[in-house]
Amino acid sequence: MPIPLEEMRAHEGSAAEAVDLLAADRIYERRWALTVLDRALARLSVEYRAASNQALFDRLKQFLTDEPDRPSQAQIASELCMSENAVKQAYHRFRLAYREFVREEIARTVAVSGDVEDELRHLVAVLRS
């Protein structure tokens, strides 16, 4: 039995719209997640700048990515006249502060403080997808 062309077009249109909405939702969520991370990083930058540690901040933030050309902790230590252990400790403190700022940025977006952990898990899931 033949299917009328108009019926096929109507069906195809609704499927395409559903795909477009799904893509739009994913784009929105990804932008939201990246905005949260950017805001947290900006706040961290302000703290490092206030402590006259902008060079250290600029180098440590490179460890937040998986870029293959990022310097090693030993290279950063040499460049900034620090021991490698001092760089490791600085990076540990950097990550803790960054994590706290991300948590605070998420807390600004939820109505109930108990939802922060769920939103944090959602942010990680969005970034991994």
Q: Do residues 45 and 57 lie in contact, with contact meaning Cβ atoms separated by under 8 Å? A: yes
The 10 Å Cβ neighbour count of residue 102 is 21
Confidence grade of residue 8 (pLDDT, cut at 50, 70, 90):
very low
Say if residues 27 and 19 touch (Cβ distance below 8 Å).
no
Candidates 21, 35, 25; CA nearest to 129 is 25
Q: pLDDT tens across 77-102, in order?
A: 999 999 999 999 999 999 999 999 99
Which segments of the chain does DSSP mark as H helices, in order?
A: 5-50, 54-60, 73-79, 84-107, 116-128
Q: Which two tokens stand for residue 65?
A: 């990515």
| Whole-prediction pTM | 0.76
The residue with tokens 């490179």 is 62
**Which domain, by its residues, includes 109?**
5-128
Number of domains in the chain: 1
